[in-house]
């Protein structure tokens, strides 16, 4: 399933607004069988919420955002890179042998 980031402008939003948006996002997600909200990161300084989603396409994400009444600015297709393979390749830390 494709992986996307969504940049949301939440400047001026209180924590309660963000919480309410999260509830709306979950409720509306039931209409999209293959969509999954993975996690979000709040950048208070910029007033942005960066959300990570799995979805079939950008159009589905925009429709979900509109139905949830949550802004969706830039949406980008991304790939996940985790640290695990690099730690495995590096081996145990020095002195643990």
The verdict on residue 97 lying in a domain is no
Q: Which domain holds residue 39?
A: 3-90
58-75 residue pLDDT tens: 999 999 999 999 999 999
pLDDT band, very low/low/confident/very high, at 93 (cuts 50, 70, 90): confident
Bridge partners, 3 (sequence order)? 54, 78
The verdict on residue 39 lying in a domain is yes
The verdict on residue 30 lying in a domain is yes
Give residues with Cβ within 8 angstroms of 43, minimum separation 6. 49, 50
Bridge partners, 78 (sequence order)? 3
Give residues with Cβ within 8 angstroms of 55, minimum separation 6. 1, 2, 4, 32, 34, 35, 36, 61, 64
Q: What is the pTM of this model?
A: 0.86
């Amino acid at each position: 399933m494709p992986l996307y980031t969504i940049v949301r402008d939440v400047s001026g939003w209180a924590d309660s607004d963000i919480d309410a948006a999260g509830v709306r996002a979950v409720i509306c997600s039931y209409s999209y069988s293959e969509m999954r909200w993975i996690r979000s990161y709040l950048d208070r300084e910029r007033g942005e919420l960066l959300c990570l989603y799995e979805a079939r396409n950008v159009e589905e994400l925009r429709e979900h955002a509109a139905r949830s009444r949550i802004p969706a600015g830039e949406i980008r297709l991304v790939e996940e890179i985790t640290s695990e393979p690099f730690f495995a390749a590096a081996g145990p830390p020095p002195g643990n042998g």
